Chain A
Amino acid sequence: MGATVTTANNDEKTWGGGHEIQPLGSSYGKMMMWFFIVSDALTFSGFLGAYGFSRFKFIETWPLADEVFTHFPFMHGVPAPMYYVALMTFILIFSSVTMVLAVDAGHQLKKTKVAIYMFLTIIGGFIFVGSQAWEWKNFIKGEYGAVETVGGSLLQFVDKDGKRVALADFAVKLPEQREALTRSHSTWFMEEAESQPSFTVAEVQAGFKAHPEVLIRTEKLDANKKKTILTREDSEKHLATAKYVVEGANLIRNEYGNKLFADFFFFITGFHGFHVFSGVIINIIIFFNVLLGTYEKRRSYEMVEKVGLYWHFVDLVWVFVFTVFYLV
């Protein structure tokens, strides 16, 4: 493998055909990184395209992103749509900047500068992955709770002014005892995969009867792109068909609306987060190589440039995920 030898006299940029030959004016490794990025970009496009497909399919009932992602650290109960994800975007863009500064310092063969900028990039990557974990935690935990009907649609609860009401605010505790099915009471495959919700359907229905001011909001978007709020009579009729109490989100159902919404959220942001995480790991490896002076001996920091390409690609994907999931 003549293309990948790593000797001190900079053979890194050489193709198998000799020193003069450079297809597309690029070294072997860099060109292959570009084509890897092409294929990965198409993979992400496939995912985002599938999201678009499902969203177009359920265009009238899709959840509203600014009602889902409203959390910000230390601002409990204050709805702050988009601020947190904007912050995450800045963190990622900034770590892209430090990465490109590392590449720039590499061109000038300044080892210390490259190391410092690589280190900052790694820190930025960790902060981003941590932020994503926090976002997932809030998404999984949920805020208000909802019920699912036998037909598979989701009902949420609002008060007279259309403000969301949490299940805990109106549901009553009935005396009947419920126990989660555990392994000790069943065979191994009968264990309940999810923990029990805080209330049963009967408790939510009883609480609804006791609170005449509570109304039901369906998934359907009206002409003003707001969710439809039913009258009290219609609300009662709809709630009679309730089958599950849904709190938070998992891969089967979620309290935000369409089931596919949570599935796509988990899958696409998860796949992107996995890319960020592997990018951080690769950056750490290259960072140590910089410290050890590997590239100093080679008189070429092209490896930094290659991982830089990957890191910028991760940022590039986030730009699209941000638009598709949070803005549009």
Chain B
Amino acid sequence: MSHEHVSNTKRIWFVFGLLSAVTIVEVILGIYKPHALEFNHFVGLNLLNWIFYILTIFKAYYIVWAFMHMEGEKSSLRWSVVSPVIFLVLYLLFILLTEGHYIYGVFKDSTIKWNF
């Protein structure tokens, strides 16, 4: 249960510092876009975008766990909230992005032109 009645102020400020630092790193990378990261690909995504997505999930984890106090909830609540989201989002993204890429191929390789 999440009712220990102890102050977590120190941890809150720590997480704020962490989230700010990650955001600053993201902005710096977004402005300078290091060539080595932007033009090297890993599993269909360039390294820069990998970093952005990993940092985003890192931030999301801290917001949910520290700010929304998921770490103080029972693991049954944790799983029943987090697992459907993760599963359904991955499923949705897999389908949409695969299909989007397929349609890109159709426009590219056929005589049909979308914009010209």
Contact = CB atoms under 8 A, between A and B. Distances in A.
B8 to A, nearest CB: 6
Nearest to A107: B5
A38 B81 contact: yes
Interface stretch (A23-31, A166-174, A199-207, A261-269): A23-31
Given A25-B76, A35-B81, A327-B30, A55 B100 contact: yes
Interface residues of B, number: 58
Interface of A: 24-26, 31, 34-35, 37-38, 41-42, 45-46, 49-50, 52-61, 66, 81-83, 86, 89-90, 93-94, 96-97, 99-101, 103-104, 107-108, 149, 151-153, 219, 225, 305, 308-309, 312-313, 315-316, 319-320, 322-323, 326-328
Is the contact region of chain A dominated by helix, strand, or loop, or is it mixed?
Answer: helix
B52 A49 contact: no
B59 A319 contact: yes
B60 A31 contact: no
21 contacts: A31-B77, A41-B85, A41-B89, A42-B89, A45-B93, A46-B92, A49-B92, A49-B93, A57-B103, A90-B20, A93-B16, A97-B16, A100-B69, A101-B12, A107-B6, A151-B116, A316-B63, A323-B52, A323-B56, A328-B49, A328-B52
B85 A49 contact: no
A52 B100 contact: yes
Interface of B: 1, 3-9, 12-13, 16, 19-20, 23-24, 26-27, 29-31, 38, 49, 52-53, 55-56, 59-60, 63-64, 66-69, 73-74, 76-77, 80-81, 84-85, 88-89, 92-93, 96-97, 99-101, 103-104, 107, 113-116
B52 A152 contact: no
Nearest to A33: B68
B96 A53 contact: yes
A316 B64 contact: yes
B30 A151 contact: no
A107 B96 contact: no
Taking each of B6, B13, B27, which has the highest tally of chain A beta carbons within 10 Å of its own beta carbon?
B27
Residue among A57, A149, A322 with most chain B CB within 10 A: A57
A267 to B, nearest CB: 16
Contact of A50 (B31, B74, B96): B96
Contacts of B59: 319
Contact of B9 (A104, A309, A315): A104
